[in-house]
Structure 1
């Protein structure tokens, strides 16, 4: 039977700023990527989201980002290798404290936003993130699309789960269309469902220009801040199950 992990970015509330979709999403997805306080999230949201993930049986992942609350981690930041390694390690340790408090461990790490984008095309950023993971746990699953980060992780014998983005358009080079460009985000529900089936079954995606690009897909990523995220997650799950594709968290 074909299986796929369906994951969502969650725990992105902080202070008086609150996302209300987390509870509903955790009833639908098989794993979660929890914000660790740098681009979003705070100790209260990390505690609540980790507790809920354990209760719902979702695999827990860390979602470390740039120290950029104002820009939601989506701005380019030129940091040293030491800064990246220590920032990521700090965020992993913080989330693990909450996981330990609920009898769980972090299963995977998926870098957020511009940190992920830069690590996928820059060897220094990729190496710094893997350095942090090596200091934390060599059994950590590193979630990334094909690129520098996935290559560096595999070179150093980390388990890698290749991620595909359900609501983002791809360029002809396999990279995501930047969010500041037109057609970066796909909003039509049926289009998203059809693309996901194609990525899983045919291991291919149609780029923004209409070309076919091969994809590796172990996990499908749903952005929790996407409009209608809960409705989309439910519709996607039902469509995949109807296709005979089982939803199951990716673990090493």
Structure 2
């Protein structure tokens, strides 16, 4: 099982989360590319640390929304959105190559991630931006329009679940505006991950059991207790005999 985390989400003098600690635990790093968070120095630093740790670098692409941390839907023109996705991948890849590695996959962030679950035009736009750069794998929610369009374009669609987010009965994420959308208890996070890895199941907020198969599990770097969650999740998976390894192999 791959473990991924959203990293490099500070900006300038502001830091969000403990990137260095998480890079010692996860296998894939979704690095902010400057549109919702991140800046050139942060991007280079995280890429250097990821390369040193043997962690895959992924482009965490977003709407152009620093003020809203990329968590507000934008009715973007698809052609412009595709260009902005391409721009972000290219910027991060320059930082990654300077660190001796490269961008190995793409994952949308925040509102863009959620939009591409059902929004065909934006899902296609993200895929068009990725395809313009190269044949990179794309992380997304199982059954999403994003993965549908990625696979139609000949890209690998990587199915993802979240360790620290609550789910609706239709296997989408509970909006962050609703109570208990984020799991902050380490026990709750562990229970969700182990059930997912061992049984291929998630339990929705209303108790509905959802069958799902995934290739990667996301541990948010900005969730309270993120490092503790990640440490215990990795140990629990290994104790359960679930191999923890990056889904992309150089």
TM-score by length of 1: 0.96
Q: CA deviation at 1:104?
A: 1.2
Q: Secondary structure at the match of 1:18?
A: coil
* Structure 1: tracts of 5 or more residues without a match: none
Deviation of 1:105 after TM superposition, in Å, equals 1.5
Match status 1:170 vs 2:167? yes
1:39 and 2:36 equivalent?
yes
Structure 1 window deviating more from structure 2 (195-204 vs 39-48): it is 195-204
| Counterparts of 1:216 and 1:242, CA distance in 2 | 20
- Structure 2 residue 124 is the aligned partner of structure 1 residue 141: no
1:157 to partner: Cα distance: 1.7
> Match for residue 155 of structure 1?
152
User: Is structure 2 residue 105 aligned with structure 1 residue 73?
Assistant: no
Which residue of 101, 124, 136 corresponds with 1:127? 124
| Deviation string, structure 1 residues 59-113 (Cα, Å, up to 9, x no partner) | 1100011111111000111101012101110000000001111221111101000
Question: Match of 2:139, SS?
Answer: strand
Q: Quote the offset at 1:204 in angstroms.
A: 1.1
Report the equivalent of 2:194. Answer: 197
1:211 and 2:205 matched? no
In the alignment, is residue 106 of structure 1 matched against residue 98 of structure 2? Answer: no
Q: Aligned match of 1:87 in 68, 84, 88?
A: 84
Give the structure 1 partner of residue 9 of structure 2: 12
- State TM-score, norm by structure 2: 0.97
Q: Quote the offset at 1:202 in angstroms.
A: 1.2
Q: 1:238 matched to which residue of 2?
A: 235
State the 4+ residue runs in structure 1 displaced beyond 3 angstroms: none
Q: Does 49-58 or 214-223 show the bigger shift?
A: 214-223
Out of 203, 207, 221, the position equivalent to 2:218 is: 221
SS at match of 1:9: strand
1:19: Cα distance to partner? 2.5
Residue 47 of structure 1: CA displacement? 0.6
TM superposition shift of 1:20: 4.8
